[in-house]
């Protein structure tokens, strides 16, 4: 598996921590697991702390993944707070992902710190 994931249920949200290699497969894989956990636990608020190794994904790949997830059947309507804890990653890429998500009706917001993300949820 190209990633490792832990999902902890808190009173207000699911807290997801993911590590591994930064790739399309890893991101889509862990997002599918997050969606399954939300369905199983009937939760709609999620805090994702992502620490994937390797360069940031390119803008076109980010656009495609977000656009595909927005219209995917069986996807829970979520409020997602996202923190990329890898300091080597380009933060403008995640800001772009947030813009694409919001433009498609998704509630996704990118944060620099998990504490700020949790407060938003």
Cα torsion 44, 84, 98, 39 to 10°: value is -20
Look at residue 87 and give its three-state secondary structure.
coil
- Answer yes or no: is pLDDT of 102 > 70: yes
Instruction: Note the pLDDT tens digit of each residue in 31-83.
Output: 999 999 999 999 999 999 999 999 999 999 999 988 887 766 666 668 999 99
- When pLDDT is averaged across residues 98-109 and rounded to a whole number, the result is 92
Cα gap 120→7, rounded to integer Å? 19
Convert the pLDDT of each residue in 13-33 to its tens digit: 999 999 999 999 999 999 999
Nearest-CA neighbor of 48 among 64, 74, 69? Answer: 69
35 or 4: which leads in pLDDT: 4
For residue 1, the model assigns a pLDDT of 67
Tokens (6 digits) for 104: 């498609």
| Contacting residues for 96 by C-beta, under 8 A, at least 6 apart | 59, 62, 63
């Amino acid at each position: 598996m190209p990633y490792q994931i832990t999902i902890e249920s808190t009173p207000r949200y699911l807290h997801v921590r993911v590590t591994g290699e930064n790739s399309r497969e890893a991101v889509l894989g862990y997002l599918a697991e997050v969606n399954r956990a939300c369905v199983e636990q009937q939760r709609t608020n999620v805090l994702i702390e992502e620490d994937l190794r390797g360069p940031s994904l390119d803008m076109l790949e980010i656009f495609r993944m977000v656009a595909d997830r927005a219209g995917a059947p069986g996807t829970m309507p979520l409020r997602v707070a996202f923190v990329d804890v890898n300091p080597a990653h380009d933060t403008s890429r995640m800001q772009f992902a947030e813009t694409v998500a919001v433009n498609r009706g998704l509630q996704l917001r990118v944060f620099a710190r998990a504490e700020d993300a949790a407060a938003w949820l």
